[in-house]
Structure 1
């Protein structure tokens, strides 16, 4: 399930203080002081809980069997393999006697989201550059976790289940599936399809030649990490939510942050991030071609979601290919 696109959400629903008190008592986490649903994150599955022993995050009502198990697996491995702050200990209660569903409880990490109202007014250009550098270091650290197979985690065996056929076929078929799905909610014409297929054809050789799968967080975006002002400037102080993690092409993890910077007219920050991240990588032309496909992958998901929910925030007259091309073309200018 790790590599699936999930749009459904099992929200926490109404939770009583008495239930939270039972949870805290069960794990010796002190007495309840306060609680609050999180504003953004984990598809309505999370809540802040403050007790006499500290600040915690409750995550519950899993979207699928094994969600919490796989998240703990990734968190524990990243804690062991990297110095990136992740929410440990990650405690799982498999019983359903308190809330009616199983859940996890983890410590609340320090810091703020870079897109919070507070930091939007505080961060200067040089601060954003430091954060981009910290993002590059964090992702590079994640991607040192190398594996032998492209695939997703089997939550029963905690081993990798390889994708059917090849990673290239899995990714390309996935993109075409979501292009076809988007046709249910929007106009995607033959010229759009031809453009997509052309972009895939141009990169097929580079994907077929890529044979070094690593851990991929799959959802590295402003809502899933925190920053704080440390001794050496602004830096990442915590990363969380590994529901979409799998093992594949590591450079796909930069796409959501590149998109964020483009949408906020901060291409110079995006360029700095990319060149910091790619500084130890070779074959820049191959990287650019693969990045364009990863950007296409993200764009078709965003297009389909926005059209389906009627939350379009761009010129609705733009064709899918022209809209997406505005992002894929930027890739060329981001990597020196």
Structure 2
């Protein structure tokens, strides 16, 4: 399932215009006028298409059986459970005879990516702060979709399937898996493992307390978000598009805070990371003040998970540009503490 896939790529390869026209014909989407690869398309799986009927995104050559079916489920359900714009309708064509693989075509959503340097340069500091808080409000809305048990969507069973054991079994098991995977590419000492186990032990009460699982996007980051200012005369920043749900599951929504907060810090904007985290925390506290007591601990564990993945990937690829000489536990603790400290500013 998606929660166990992190590294992999199925490129679309060369796609002929005639084949694309056939694909459009299958879904009654008009005459092909133009197409190109997306600038930062997910793992090379997407094309931008313009036809006589409008602008679309094609996503194909799935990474695993059921990827597109799973994403279609989340798009359709989020359209029902939230007001957040998602690429609906998500038109799925499962037959592989036209393009050599199954594909989905969805509407191209409007707006700008925050990673675009030209767009970034047009924003004032107030704009940036409002956008950071708007991201927090978006996540809070996503996380209000609750389910009885933590788990993931199974496209074969066509239903949400609970994780084996409970949520902590899955979370800790996954973290341990990737920590031991990193041993193939770097030095992970017994002291590192003991330190990680100690974090598990200390965090367990926080995850046991009022654990009501909700939707977790799993990849909430600039690349998967489009934004617009709907009223240029005043504060009107809104999400205009949210997409790529191939790592979505049901668990603790705090996990979705890690990528954007860390991105802000890495880009020298810790004040925006603080704004994002504090806005989300305050929203959670307003809904459940008792739950807020454990916010920091939960966030620390998800940050640890993220850093284990980063450490293993960086060491495996040799692209280490940070803390190359520090032991894992020391580097991870310093990195996590620098994020958590933003909550106190």
* TM superposition score normalised by structure 2: 0.93
- Residue 290, structure 1, aligned to residue 293, structure 2: no
* CA displacement at 1:210 relative to structure 2: 4.1
Q: Counterpart of 2:244 in 1: which secondary structure?
A: coil
* CA displacement at 1:99 relative to structure 2: 0.5
Question: Which of 247, 253, 256 in structure 1 is aligned with 2:259?
Answer: 256
- Residues 60-71 of structure 1: pairs in structure 2 closer than 5 A: 60-71=60-71
RMSD: 1.4
1:225 paired residue number: 225
Give the whole-Å Cα distance in 1 for the aligned partners of 2:320 and 2:39. 22
Question: Which of 251, 268, 282 in structure 2 is aligned with 1:265?
Answer: 268
Question: Which of 307, 315, 321 in structure 1 is aligned with 2:323?
Answer: 315
Give the whole-Å Cα distance in 1 for the aligned partners of 2:57 and 2:78. 19
Q: Is the 8 A contact 2:56 2:107 kept in 1?
A: yes
Q: How many aligned residue pairs are there?
A: 336
Q: Counterpart of 2:71 in 1: which secondary structure?
A: helix
Q: Is the 8 A contact 1:130 1:235 kept in 2?
A: no
1:84 paired residue number: 84
Give the whole-Å Cα distance in 2 for the aligned partners of 1:103 and 1:135. 30
User: 5+ residue gaps in structure 2?
Assistant: none
1:143 paired residue number: 143
Q: Deviations over 1:154-205 (max 9, x none)?
A: 1133322111111111111111111110111112222222221121111012
Give the whole-Å Cα distance in 1 for the aligned partners of 2:317 and 2:168. 30
1:299 paired residue number: 307
* CA displacement at 1:221 relative to structure 2: 0.7
Q: Is the 8 A contact 1:127 1:233 kept in 2?
A: no
Give the whole-Å Cα distance in 1 for the aligned partners of 2:148 and 2:292. 23
* CA displacement at 1:27 relative to structure 2: 1.8
Give the whole-Å Cα distance in 1 for the aligned partners of 2:13 and 2:79. 31
Q: Deviations over 1:31-61 (max 9, x none)?
A: 1111111121321111111112211100001
- Residues 316-331 of structure 1: pairs in structure 2 closer than 5 A: 316-331=324-339
User: 5+ residue gaps in structure 1?
Assistant: none
Give the whole-Å Cα distance in 1 for the aligned partners of 2:340 and 2:105. 43
Q: Is the 8 A contact 1:284 1:335 kept in 2?
A: no
Q: Counterpart of 2:3 in 1: which secondary structure?
A: coil
Q: Is the 8 A contact 2:57 2:107 kept in 1?
A: yes
1:198 paired residue number: 198
2:279 paired residue number: 276
Q: State which drifts further: 111-120 or 216-225.
A: 111-120
Q: Is the 8 A contact 2:261 2:339 kept in 1?
A: no
Q: Deviations over 1:63-122 (max 9, x none)?
A: 111111111111111111111010011000011111011100001111121111222322
